[in-house]
Amino acid sequence: QVQLVESGGGLVQPGGSLRLSCVASRNIVSSYVMAWYRQAPGKQRDLVTSITTIGSTYYADSVKGRFTNSRDNAKNTVYLQMNSLKTEDTAVYYCKARHPFSGIEYWGQGTQVTVSS
């Protein structure tokens, strides 16, 4: 069983920056599709960004140009760099890993990001 542990969440002011980390308990980051989701109170869980095993990235329109999804295979870690944060970005952010062929997936426990003045 692979565990994903997110960290780096917290309280920031609008316009600020934050970097989230997701560390996998096994060396899977290089061979799984890694993604970040977020869920605001009373809202559905939405895909924020994903990165494939070959480095292709996807970003939701709402975060395009502000967020960057990256990975460090040696550290078995993925990062979500969030810049120019808006109050609308407030949510619990979840890390997800999915094997491209088997469909096996793992979810992290989530980390709270609050953007408020």
Closest CA to 77 of 103, 99, 108: 108
Tens-place pLDDT, residues 55-107: 999 999 999 999 999 999 999 999 999 999 999 999 999 999 999 999 999 99
Cβ count within 10 A of residue 117: 6
pLDDT of residue 93: 98
How big, in percent rounded to 5, are the helix, strand and coil portions of the chain? 5, 50, 45
Residue 1: is its pLDDT beyond 90? no
Determine contact, residues 38/48, Cβ cutoff 8 Å: yes
Rounded Cα gap, residues 22 and 49, in angstroms: 13
Confidence class for position 16, pLDDT limits 50, 70, 90: very high
Cα distances (Å, whole numbers) of residue 30 to 25, 27, 72, 87: 13, 7, 8, 32
pLDDT of residue 63: 98
Give the CB-side neighbour count of residue 23, counting CA atoms within 13 A: 6
Tens-place pLDDT, residues 27-64: 998 999 999 999 999 999 999 999 999 999 999 999 99
